[in-house]
Chains A and B, each alone.
Chain A
Amino acid sequence: MVLVGILVTFLGFVISLLSLGMASGVSSRMVMVLVGILVSLVGIVGVINKAYVNNAIWKK
């Protein structure tokens, strides 16, 4: 799951990067970049962190 989370987090960066080529207006770019940031946060907090918490030392 950690690797999946890393891929999701990186996907957020790719979405933001694509906004530079796929969108031309400031508003549309801002929306795409915000979506990218949200995806990265989901990857970090929702996937990677959750995977570590599920196997945490204090649960054993």
Chain B
Amino acid sequence: MRKLLLGFTLALSLTCLYAQTPAAAPPAAAPPPVAAPAATPLTDADLKNIPTPKAEDRAKGDPDGGLTGNVSDIAVADPITDKTPKAKGLTLGDMANQVGQNKIAINFVWTLITGFMVMFMQAGFAIVETGLCRAKNANHTMMMNFMVYGTGLLAYWICGFALQMGGVGALGNLGGTPPLVNEFAITLFGKPFGLWGQTGFFLMHKGTYDVGVMVIFLFQMVFMDTALTIVTGSAAERWKFTAFLLSSFILGAFTYPIFANWAWGGGWLANLGANFGLGHGYSDFAGSGVVHAVGGLSALALGLIVGPRIGKFNRDGKPNAIPGHDITYVLLGCFILAFGWFGFNPGSTLGASGNGGLRIGSVAVNTMLAGMTGSFGAMFYMWMRYGKPDASMTGNGLLAGLVAITAPSGFVNPVASGIIGVIAGVLVCLSVEFVERTMKVDDPVGAISVHGVNGIWGVIAVGLFADGKSNYGGSWNGVNGSVTGLFYGDAGQLVAQLVGVSTLLGFVFVMTMVLNLILDMVVKQRSPAKDELEGLDIPEIGSLAYPEFQLK
């Protein structure tokens, strides 16, 4: 059986490698020149004679949709009415304004709906984590995943959003967002280093009560909440609920927004290309680093601080398996997360119209491919190593592939996506073993490996596999051209990505570690041993998740 699986994996790898090899295609012949017809300038007068459906026809209904939506639906600045017969009526200016508003409306709707999908990922995380925990902690784990939404939202509304996006500048896809222009920056090595934004506190500060700002707030907020909910997995089954609330608030208010500002809010990491000639600066399309590595490294910090669950390790350090109570929850949750990822990655274009928005299809396909190869990578690894295709690790392989493709999804081709995913699937298995057996850190759901390790892998993958074919309005992070990785000729991009990785390890991890150690001194983060042995449902929440079942 193992030889058969090995052979299958080898064949898959060779297929991927062959497909990755660029074909030596002859240059396409230039099309023969065609004489353009003489253009007749359009005037306002031409707009007066556009036919509209008759009122009596409209009154009969429109079952085939042929009458609904026509020139009479265009907003007119100076309409002709009985009282204003000499008004201009429909003009070319009205038409142009309507086209512009349609573009922004498409982008608003796209960004909002994908944001709603990302919000639904909270449900996926909740049941994945609850399923991987024991039944005696199910209510506590579910409650943490439920309230992390509200806690994160409160923190982000008060100050997190302002610190992250207050100085992002113009977001053209969302109509410009002109109020978000105040970035606090210092000068280092003769260049400006943006550190945090200063506009948007409570969404009322300095003109941020604005339609475009509301859209970007919602979208960025659900991303931030994803990072927060990752931490609840690694500290599950022994984290005091009060400590969880305070720790999550701090992460949503300060730690996450600071790094997100550096990467997405116009901060210094995004400008490594413009200021230091490192490719297009740190490029993280949808957040392998910003969301997942921040969440995963915070999960590592909390895992260290709260320590392992009682019974996880023997006195000689040998780990014991503590199986979750519902694998159906786990795999259903993985499916919900995979669905939500179609909002996470394609939504990060912040629009479907203009500035490369049509790459949403490519981003979505890259996402699904990496998830698929990630699940295969983990399943075959476990099958070959332990003799069975472990269900929870196969689910984690899917998530690892999705995490890893999150940063590169907008910059790479489908074959690269498959390779990134399969590496992630194997990497998550190796990492889980390393975290448990070598580091002796207890991570009940594998959050450190799925999100931390594979988030970092995704960031690096941009610097390797970005193919230089993406075009989001002609430039990225203020540098003309497309993001291009080492394999396609730009080693500087890889350096920019590695600076981002170093910042995640050396700054984000340190910041979350220090803040949580201070919190640990104020309110002890770990629950008492008696409560842990009993299960946290009753001591912490006051009721069992499954009151009619006999719990061990």
Give chain A's interface residues, CB within 8 Å of chain B: 2, 6, 9-17, 19-21, 26-27, 29-30, 33-34, 36-37, 39-41, 43-45, 48-49, 52-53, 56-59
Range, interface on chain B: 35 or more
Residues in B with CB closer than 8 Å to A57 are: 307-308, 310
Let me know if A29 and B310 touch, CB within 8 A: no
Let me know if A58 and B498 touch, CB within 8 A: no
Residue of B nearest to A28 (CB): B495
A39 to B505, CA, bound (A): 10
> Which of A49, A52, A58 is within 8 Å of B314, CB to CB?
A58
**Would you call the interface of chain B mostly helix, strand, loop, or mixed?**
helix
Sample 29 A-B pairs with CB under 8 A, ordered by A number. Answer: A6-B514, A9-B505, A9-B509, A9-B510, A9-B513, A12-B505, A13-B505, A13-B507, A13-B510, A14-B506, A16-B499, A17-B499, A20-B188, A27-B491, A29-B278, A33-B499, A34-B498, A37-B501, A40-B506, A44-B300, A48-B513, A49-B440, A49-B441, A53-B317, A57-B307, A57-B310, A58-B308, A58-B314, A58-B315
Residue of A nearest to B297 (CB): A44
Residues in B with CB closer than 8 Å to A29 are: 278, 495
Q: Mark B297-331, 1 if CB is under 8 A from A, else 0.
A: 00010001001101011110100000000000000
Give the shortest distance, in Å, between A33 (CB) and chain B (any CB). 5
Let me know if A56 and B502 touch, CB within 8 A: no
Give the shortest distance, in Å, between A45 (CB) and chain B (any CB). 6
- What 5 additional pairs, Cβ within 8 angstroms, besides A14-B506, A40-B505? A12-B502, A33-B495, A34-B498, A37-B502, A56-B308
Given A9-B510, A53-B440, does the pair A59, B502 have CB atoms closer than 8 Å?
no
Instruction: Indicate if B386 sits at the interface (CB-CB under 8 A).
Output: no
A10 to B193, CA, bound (A): 18
Residues in B with CB closer than 8 Å to A15 are: 502
A28 to B501, CA, bound (A): 17
Let me know if B505 and A44 touch, CB within 8 A: yes
Let me know if A37 and B517 touch, CB within 8 A: no
Give the shortest distance, in Å, between B239 (CB) and chain A (any CB). 15
Given A21-B188, A34-B498, does the pair A10, B441 have CB atoms closer than 8 Å?
no
Given A29-B495, A45-B439, A56-B440, does the pair A21, B189 have CB atoms closer than 8 Å?
yes
